[in-house]
Amino acid sequence: MNSIFQLMGESSHQNLYFCNDQEVGLQAIIAIHDTTLGPAIGGVRMLPYSDPSEAVEDALRLSKAITYKSAITGLNLGGGSAIIIGDHRTAKNEALLRRLGQFVESLNGTFIASIDVGTTQKDLEYIYTETNYVAGLPNNLNGVGDTTGFAAKGVYYGIKASLKELYGSDSLAGRKIVVQGVGSVGEKLVGLLRTENARVYVADTTEERMLKIAAKYRAEPVRYQQVHELDVDVYAPCALGGTVNPESVGIMQCKIIAGAANNQLRDEEETSKLINEKGILYAPDYLINAGALISCYSEIQGYGNERTDALIENIYSATRSVLQKSKEEQISSMEAANKIAEKRIFDIRKIKR
């Protein structure tokens, strides 16, 4: 127990809640990192953790990341996370999800649940049966529906802001961009980039998917093993985390890294240093992939499409501020983003007391 308080203290977490309902088989954790800016939003992640302490660590890490993501994008939301310990393919059912909904409801709006790995919009509907504190509902329940288009739009602005910083122009025409992973977000990003005549290369471990997307958007297919060696303006990681690491940076030929994947940097400190030494510009992942979170915020606030688009467009100016601060203070762009996010929380905390 001591170590849990130590972990919470190290990352300045406010609360950690546990729910154990043996009758329905629910073992769940809700972590609230910081509610200075507003209620803590977070996805419901369902995975078969082998040890509850792993689930606690994940909940703490994920909730802190959301605090920073909300802060840097100007949202009035805090960071949270919900974890259900169990195999989402076999152990998920209506009673379990509704029980989680009751758990969320018991926190009186301090936590707002959305979807994450192992949960779907259908699951969120079950949670919604028991609590109104949810975001990311389907369109037929007046929700934002599929958030992947919003995520792609944010990445698109992040790429444009990075181009502006490096070349003095944010025009995409003729710029060479490789999109690694053309799944839900990657495909929509390819569409946006091609509309403005960027020269787009697409890679995916599923060859059929890669060929389909290449043909649909008149992009060029490349083998996924060759992504890092391509001489391009932008490398957009849109598959899994950790693809930017000392080994891959060693062979990279791109000028900018800007994509949708979460936790792109493995060994953050060392990798940031190597990126810097190579003169590669890095648009922080948690800032430019915030479009989905922004759309959930819009749903909570009852905003229409126009306001949602405007909030997502802010990613452009936020990315520029981060890159400029990074240059001026000779710090990594991740450090610059973290500093801006922390300062906003610090300032707002003063007026909330």
Ligand X SMILES: NC(=O)c1ccc[n+]([C@@H]2O[C@H](COP(=O)([O-])OP(=O)(O)OC[C@H]3O[C@@H](n4cnc5c(N)ncnc54)[C@H](O)[C@@H]3O)[C@@H](O)[C@H]2O)c1
Segment 255 to 314, residues that bind ligand X, using CB under 6 A: 260-262, 289, 292
Task: List Cβ neighbours of 120 (8 Å cut-off, separation of 6 or more).
Answer: none
Cβ proximity to ligand X, 107 vs 232, nearer residue: 232
Q: Map the footprint of ligand X across residues 150-169, applying CB under 6 A.
A: 151
CB of 119 to ligand X, least distance (A): 12
Does 321 show up as a binding residue in the annotation?
Answer: no
Site membership for ligand X, residue 148 (CB under 6 A):
yes
Q: Which is nearer to ligand X, 148 or 162 (CB)?
A: 148
Does the annotation place 182 within a ligand binding site?
Answer: yes
Nearer to ligand X, 16 or 182 (CB): 182
Query: How far apart are alpha carbons 324 and 318 in whole angstroms?
Result: 10
Dist. CA 295–CA 300, nearest whole Å: 9
42 near 136, Cβ under 8 Å?
A: no
Inter-residue contact 254 to 232 (CB < 8 Å): yes
In whole angstroms, how close is the CB of 148 to ligand X at the nearest point? 5
**Considering the rule CB under 6 A, would residue 73 count as an interface residue with ligand X?**
no
Window 225-264: residues binding ligand X (CB under 6 A): 238-241, 260-262
**Which CB, 130 or 285, lies closer to ligand X?**
285
Write the burial class of residue 61 (CB in 10 Å: 0-12 exposed, 13-18 middle, 19+ buried). middle
Q: Which is nearer to ligand X, 16 or 46 (CB)?
A: 46
Residue 259: how many other CB atoms lie within 10 Å: 29
Q: Is 35 helix (H, G, I), strand (E, B) or coil?
A: coil
Q: Please check if 184 is assigned to a binding site.
A: yes
Query: Does 81 sit near ligand X (CB under 6 A)?
Result: no
| 43 annotated ligand-binding residue | no
Q: In this structure, what token pair is assigned to residue 283?
A: 């648009």
All residues at 6 or more sequence positions from 102 whose CB lies less than 8 Å from its CB, including other chains: 130, 131
184 in contact with ligand X (CB under 6 A): yes
The residue among 262, 313, 352 whose CA lies nearest residue 43 is 262
- Report residue 147 as tokens: 């958030």
Q: How far is the CB of 72 from ligand X (least distance, A)?
A: 14
User: Is 80 labelled as part of a ligand binding site?
Assistant: no
Alpha-carbon distance of 190 to 254, in angstroms, equals: 17
Question: Which listed range, 63-71, 86-94, 184-192, 247-255, lies at the site for ligand X (CB under 6 A)?
Answer: 184-192
User: CA-CA distance, 106 to 111, in Å (whole number)?
Assistant: 10
Residue from 183, 191, 221, 242 in contact with ligand X (CB under 6 A) = 183
Any contact of residue 205 with ligand X (CB under 6 A)? yes
Report the alpha-carbon angle 26-103-146, nearest 5: 90
Q: Would the annotation count 242 as a binding residue?
A: no
Q: Provide the annotated binding site for NAD(+).
A: 181-186
The binding site for ligand X (CB under 6 A) comprises 147-148, 151, 180-186, 203-206, 209, 224, 238-241, 260-262, 289, 292
Binding residues: 181-186
